[in-house]
Structure 1
Amino acid sequence: MAKTKGAPRRSRCNRNRRRNKTARRPSREAEPTPSGPTGVHHIPDHLLELVLLRVATPLALLRAASTCKRWRRLIFTDDATFPDHRSLRPSSVAGHYHVDGNNHHIFVPDPVAADGLDRRHFSLDFLPAVPHGSLPWELADSRGGLLLFYRRDVVYYRMGRVWEGDPEYLHFPDMLVCDPLNRRCQGILYWEEMWPYQCLGLFLLDGDEPAAGGGSTGMSNFRVVAVTYESDVFEDDRGAPRACVFSSGGDGGWRLVESASGGDVPIPEYRSISFTGRARSSFFWRMEREGAVLALDDATIQFSLVTFPCTVVGTPEESSAFRVIGGDDGAARVVRVMANNDLTVFQQLHSSGEWVVEKLVRLPEVTSGLPGREETFFERPAKIVATTTRHILVTPQEETWIFSIDLETLEVDQAHERNRYAGAAFPFELPWPPALRADDRRVRNLTRN
């Protein structure tokens, strides 16, 4: 009986010993603290990732990846590091391609990346020559690290009909998607079914399928959307928009996107329609003397009419210029120059949908004292030349005298290179994750030594 009673007692003692040994055993996940001086290599991975997530630009992150194997492993890992980095970094825009008055395309680096970029790698001198009788390549849109160009002829002979003379009635026979960093191009023939219609805009979108490895849009994975205008057969001054989509790849090509509702979106005569910007994954067109704005959702490729308050875009009778822009927070914004030359930025609140004044700049006052400023300026409302998510380029109507306004600081800058060009500005992003390895010679040559 004593022996039988003692067995459970010894068993309990053994369990206590095992429990004490387990408690004293250090965790495998815990890293031992060095007894001597510590350095950056002693920072745990989870803390180092937080530091790398806050690197300002992709170019700086590439430089960080070349520091050592451990940093490169953390930066090029397949887990959620990249999505987090994309949401936390201020911007992946390396710069903008600006268009001047002679249709030249000039790359202007972003101020954050200007010290590290060699703009020679953004040259467009590799674009193919245009056929005889054609106008030069014109920049239509950008997406990630790709650019979309088109060329147009003054006279077309197609299907037994001749269009000539009227500059508003030009068509786009050919398009070109190019990758400036790798100096590659892909030509796209204009779809024959679109020839009878005017074109309201050409846009570059991400491909139908995610890029390999979860990366950005590339030469083998993109879409082009051509927005055309089809006149109403019963009303000369009315029509409807059409969206034709080109998809890259072996199974791609052109297709016409039908309206999900089965009906047309009525819009006025095409000469009264002008593209006014994009925000929240939508493109917008202003229509003169109309109480609504034409919108195209780039996810569904469906048109709709969106009504903005007249306090934001002006009344239908006014021909006030306004632009729709986006931002890093995803909110839609409208930039408008009021009759008194107050440049006003309206923001739509996510919670209520209400439009409120976010920024206001009194143009005659903030430009006072700048070189070249004349007293006769701003007797009429100023014109918006170009917009980015960060800067608004403005000029008086009386004379082309371009200056830019920083939407974050509201500071006025007339000396920056961007102010030399009176055309549109198209953002250009460095591919991320990069298609080239960090130790690749071409990656190293992207920056100045």
Structure 2
Amino acid sequence: MLLTGSLHKRPIRVKRSKQELASRSSPPPMATKQGPRRGHRRRHSKPTKASMSEPIPSGPTSVHHIPDHLLELVLVRVGSSLALLRAAFTCKRWRRIITDTSFLTRFRSLHGPHVGVLGHYHIVDPTHKKLSPDGNNQVFVPADGALLDRRHFSLDFLPDLDWELGDSRGGLLLLYRRNTIQRYRRRQAVLRFPDMIVCDPLTRRYQGILHWEEMYNITPCLGLFLLHGVDGCISMSNFRVVVALYAVSHGGRAAPYACVFSSGSVGGWQDSAPSSGGVVPIPELHLISFAGRARSSLYWRMEGEGAVLALNETTLEFSLVTFPSTVVGMLEESSIFRVIGSRSDAVRVVRIINNGDLTVFAQLQGSGEWVVENLVTLPEVATYGLPAKIVAANASYILVTPREENWIVSVDLHTLEVERAHERNRYAGAAHPYELQWPPALQACRAN
């Protein structure tokens, strides 16, 4: 037999007896608790998977024994940002996983932009309901299942209460001076270029924005809108405000016009980029009404026109978009449609058909084809068979009221249920969604 040792350069021949040679030809004995046999060296080997895995506890297991990669799969499927925020307060381990940047990006891409809606700020229409004693006409209604303290969403920290809610985006609100609303012919309310304020109800911070002196009291506004900053994020130090104006040229031709305010030390008012398609002709002011927003665009309905006015939030350019008559109705019809978004950010149109059915149309991305997504038949008990109209519409629910009446019913777009006793039915004004800022700012402190 030849043995090679680390201290010998030449092999050494060792004599063996017949008994030893016979024992070597037989199968090796089973290993015993005494360890390896004498004469054999024990070499270091790589640990196996069994040795690397943590031992399974002999007692009962709990959620704390779930590995991180499996716990991430569970947390990423939480239904809303509010529920995810609550989960982050469970323990340090869960907070470490949830606050990771890659996890938040994955969660946002899976659930879409509307997952963080905590509730809606409703504008109280004084023709349907009296204002509060302090004159405030904004009411926060939490989302279904959201147990929130409404005091945290109060606007009593603003300098005064002479503000009208114009728009919302993320966790911020855009308000404007109420006294800048004037009455136009045909009793239409017209908004002149107003002073504005952007605020964060949770942190109770706000920033005032003075009107643009060059545009003040010259042209009426089609709407005021709050947008993300240039980097796609939004905060009190990073936002934009767009004012859509109704401009009339010297030749009497009307066209839309936009100007934008940017926050920051180098921000301020400036003209938007001129439209590459030239001047977009629009009808008289009283024939135009805001229809909604979806897929980073704002839409206005124009009576008697075969197209819809659209403003791209990215390029700030106006254009005319044609929707099928089966979706928005015929020109001679007086039906009112609304444009709403969805979790997939697809364009959806909701309209009440003449037979009383509330129909939701969705445009398929890529092909542009329109399909019927949902159809809700309004019961007789809800409208008493009277023709109905849409009061407010968003990605979560629709507020409907019979014409010439003052009671409201709501249609939940997720459950397709018609509700008459919901709190949101008390307010006949527009409803603006309030979203949790993303990514959420999580802070921890020790409690007694």
TM-score normalised over the length of structure 1: 0.82
Partner Cα separation in structure 1 for residue 197 and residue 75 of structure 2: 36
Does the 8 Å contact 1:293/1:308 carry over to 2? yes
Q: State the match for 2:125 in structure 1.
A: 101
Shift in Å, 1:317:
2.9
Q: Could you say if the C-alpha distance between residues 242 and 394 of structure 1 is closer, same or farther in structure 2, counting changes exceeding 3 Å?
A: same
Deviations 1:112-171 (A, max 9, x none): 31xx211111111112226xxxxx311100001100000143699xxxxxx999864541
Does the 8 Å contact 2:193/2:212 carry over to 1? no
Q: State the match for 2:30 in structure 1.
A: none
Does the 8 Å contact 1:154/1:164 carry over to 2? no
Does the 8 Å contact 1:153/1:171 carry over to 2? no
Moved more, 318-327 or 260-269: 260-269
SS of the counterpart of 1:359? strand
SS of the counterpart of 1:395? strand
Q: State the match for 1:192 in structure 2.
A: 213
Deviations 1:301-351 (A, max 9, x none): 111110001111112233320000011122211111122222111111124
Partner Cα separation in structure 2 for residue 183 and residue 125 of structure 1: 9
Q: State the match for 1:234 in structure 2.
A: 251
Alignment partner for residue 436 of structure 2, among 425, 430, 436? 430
Does the 8 Å contact 1:151/1:173 carry over to 2? yes
Instruction: Map 1:336-415; keep pairs closer than 5 Å.
Output: 336-363=351-378, 366-368=379-381, 374=384, 377-378=385-386, 381-415=387-421
SS of the counterpart of 1:98? strand
Q: State the match for 2:223 in structure 1.
A: 201
Instruction: Map 1:275-314; keep pairs closer than 5 Å.
Output: 275-314=290-329
Q: State the match for 1:66 in structure 2.
A: 89
Alignment partner for residue 141 of structure 1, among 164, 167, 170? 167
Does the 8 Å contact 1:276/1:285 carry over to 2? yes
Does the 8 Å contact 2:277/2:319 carry over to 1? no
Does residue 319 of structure 1 match 2:334? yes
Shift in Å, 1:251:
0.8
Shift in Å, 1:279:
0.8
Q: Could you say if the C-alpha distance between residues 268 and 436 of structure 1 is closer, same or farther in structure 2, counting changes exceeding 3 Å?
A: same
Shift in Å, 1:29:
7.1
Does the 8 Å contact 2:193/2:215 carry over to 1? no
SS of the counterpart of 2:247? strand
Q: State the match for 1:118 in structure 2.
A: 149
Partner Cα separation in structure 2 for residue 284 and residue 311 of structure 1: 18
Q: State the match for 2:21 in structure 1.
A: none
Shift in Å, 1:361:
2.0
Does the 8 Å contact 2:181/2:192 carry over to 1? no
Question: Which residue identity does 1:198 align to in structure 2?
Answer: P
Does the 8 Å contact 1:154/1:165 carry over to 2? no
TM-score normalised over the length of structure 2: 0.82
SS of the counterpart of 1:259? coil
Deviations 1:160-217 (A, max 9, x none): xxx9998645413200101111111110011122221110000001112355xxxxx2
Moved more, 246-255 or 332-341: 332-341
Does the 8 Å contact 2:193/2:219 carry over to 1? no
Q: Could you say if the C-alpha distance between residues 416 and 168 of structure 1 is closer, same or farther in structure 2, counting changes exceeding 3 Å?
A: closer
Partner Cα separation in structure 1 for residue 152 and residue 209 of structure 2: 24
Does residue 47 of structure 1 match 2:70? yes
Shift in Å, 1:100:
1.1
Aligned residues: 402
Q: Could you say if the C-alpha distance between residues 96 and 318 of structure 1 is closer, same or farther in structure 2, counting changes exceeding 3 Å?
A: same
Does the 8 Å contact 1:387/1:393 carry over to 2? yes
Partner Cα separation in structure 1 for residue 308 and residue 188 of structure 2: 25
What RMSD, in angstroms, separates the aligned Cα atoms of the two structures?
Answer: 3.0
SS of the counterpart of 1:72? helix
Structure 1's unaligned 5+ residue stretches are 10-16, 131-135, 157-162, 212-216, 445-449
Does the 8 Å contact 2:398/2:412 carry over to 1? yes
Q: Could you say if the C-alpha distance between residues 29 and 246 of structure 1 is closer, same or farther in structure 2, counting changes exceeding 3 Å?
A: farther
Q: Could you say if the C-alpha distance between residues 176 and 164 of structure 1 is closer, same or farther in structure 2, counting changes exceeding 3 Å?
A: farther
Partner Cα separation in structure 2 for residue 18 and residue 357 of structure 1: 73
Does the 8 Å contact 1:152/1:174 carry over to 2? no
Does residue 75 of structure 1 match 2:108? no
